[in-house]
Structure 1
């Protein structure tokens, strides 16, 4: 399923009407990123409620470290959008699409009803494939927007490789059961599918 997400992302990067597509792309991502810290906080609370679980303790340690690193990224996106003429109140008034809601909402289900470690599949998608600097440069050139519209993408291009390595180290160290490995895999595959649907919805409007 990952090639599908890569293909839809590529179509956004290469879209000839990027001047109109890019603000919608940022709004779509804001719908997901605004939920990242609350979702991780929910998983942290659930992990702390499992004191005898050998996976929950290192997961909680990871989330306690990672949550402050992710806090405020939704505000970065709002600032980028405001720089290209889209005010924050207009972004916040938008109802995120069903694929975005399902992408985030499925994680709450797995956290509450299976195990909070499932969230790592979702995090792996969001942080395991950082934007390439050459793609960001191309988007800026094609869209006509200034560098102030790409600050969040540039920061993630810098930060996400490190975050991805931290996540890989955690996954290697966790004493995962077969069920937990399956859960992380399903979380990651569902996240890819739903992100692809969200991106395709955006492309269909253009």
Structure 2
């Protein structure tokens, strides 16, 4: 951007341990994307693990340590060097992400790609141990989610398959030094961002990407009024305000602050049991009421039913691992918010538009993806419970990522305006009632929040 307005800017690379500058692009010898050629007073090489090593003008050592031998200095940076000697820096070795498939990803590289492709103010990539990386991206202009998704799809198409972004969380507010998320010079404080990730994701607008696009594919840009592949994004956008009632529940902050105890966790699981046990019956009721023009939706419900059957029993097993009497819970009563949520969905299916059922899918599966696994890990660490007490949270955090991609494609195939509106209105109501349940979870120290009036 500086070059575009006539500034003679050249990228270089250096570190204090080498007396500052190691490599530099200069007029007549520069290569875009690189940090230039090594200067004459140093030698540079990249080892077989892509670590940048420097020799020739390095420090004697760190204060309090034994002096170092005059040998190759491991900079801790990752990069490459081409046949002409131009050096490229990709990131820090200590920040390296390793996917569940064993592929190494430098987050700084992907962050740079996001900033360039989206014009993002800030970008932080995460996903160590996950199948695909995700990112938290700060966009400060007024572009719509549709516009951002189009740019992300183009970016993903040009990335190697292992580095394609599966989920991107859009924020309008910058990460700040005051909250401990960036350093004074603007670099991300990764350990703090990782610790706060559940809250940061909950405060963001999620975009879940289709990873099946082959690299090099030409992507059709959406145009205003284009209805193809657009309803899912409209559903996300038009329920954003209602969604804040879920993501703003005090329990999320309480977990982050270590104020969540066994009483709160078992109370949440009890409510989960009382709505999850209705998931399959609701799907069966919906399938029986769908018109013939939505036969493809009925077929999708068959797949959903096969995958969801019996999940309520997982929750009872989790509760038993927490020391609860699962048979007493099986025959107990839910909180009013959950009872109303389930009753509302049966009513919409029977007396309204049966497609309204998918408003619940939008809420519950989306919430699982954002919160289930990271919050489950935080809760387990705080309470010291065995893995057997978290089968519901951990399985749904993983399962629902695949489910939600399936759901996104299914929603984009629903084109009737009345069906679409029924789903949007149901999602808003379920966000309200499910959020009421989350707001009612008993919390340590502050006790149980004053209940919200039932809708």
Aligned to 1:191: 430
Alignment pair present for 1:157 and 2:400: no
Question: If the length of structure 1 is used for normalisation, what is the TM-score?
Answer: 0.91
Instruction: Give the secondary-structure state (helix, strand or coil) at the position aligned to 1:96.
Output: coil
Given that 1:80 and 1:149 are in contact with CA atoms closer than 8 Å, whether structure 2 keeps it comes out as: yes
Of the three residues 120, 140, 144, the one matched with 2:380 is 140
Aligned to 1:41: 284
Higher relative contact order at CA 8 Å, sep ≥6: structure 1 or structure 2?
1
**Gaps spanning 5+ residues in structure 1: where?**
none
C-alpha deviation, 1:2, in angstroms: 0.8
Alignment pair present for 1:170 and 2:413: no
Question: If the length of structure 2 is used for normalisation, what is the TM-score?
Answer: 0.42
In terms of fraction of residues, the more strand-rich structure is 2
Alignment pair present for 1:13 and 2:255: yes
1:111-161 per-residue CA deviation (whole Å, 9 max, x = no partner) reads: 112221111111111112223533221110112212111111111011001
Aligned to 1:2: 243
Alignment pair present for 1:122 and 2:364: no
Instruction: Give the secondary-structure state (helix, strand or coil) at the position aligned to 1:202.
Output: coil
**Gaps spanning 5+ residues in structure 2: where?**
1-241, 450-455
Question: Which protein is bigger by CA-based radius of gyration?
Answer: 2
Aligned to 2:333: 95
Given that 2:254 and 2:260 are in contact with CA atoms closer than 8 Å, whether structure 1 keeps it comes out as: no
Given that 1:110 and 1:118 are in contact with CA atoms closer than 8 Å, whether structure 2 keeps it comes out as: yes
The whole-number CA distance in structure 2 between the counterparts of 1:94 and 1:147 is 25
The whole-number CA distance in structure 1 between the counterparts of 2:437 and 2:421 is 24
**Any residues of structure 2 matched to 1:60-75 within 5 Å, and which?**
60-75=298-313
Of the three residues 317, 320, 344, the one matched with 1:79 is 317
Instruction: Give the secondary-structure state (helix, strand or coil) at the position aligned to 2:441.
Output: helix
CA RMSD of aligned residues (A): 1.6
1:72-95 per-residue CA deviation (whole Å, 9 max, x = no partner) reads: 100000001111111211212321
Given that 1:12 and 1:18 are in contact with CA atoms closer than 8 Å, whether structure 2 keeps it comes out as: no
Q: Cα 1:97–1:133, aligned 2, differ >3 Å: closer, same or farther?
A: closer
Q: Cα 1:44–1:75, aligned 2, differ >3 Å: closer, same or farther?
A: same
In terms of fraction of residues, the more helix-rich structure is 1
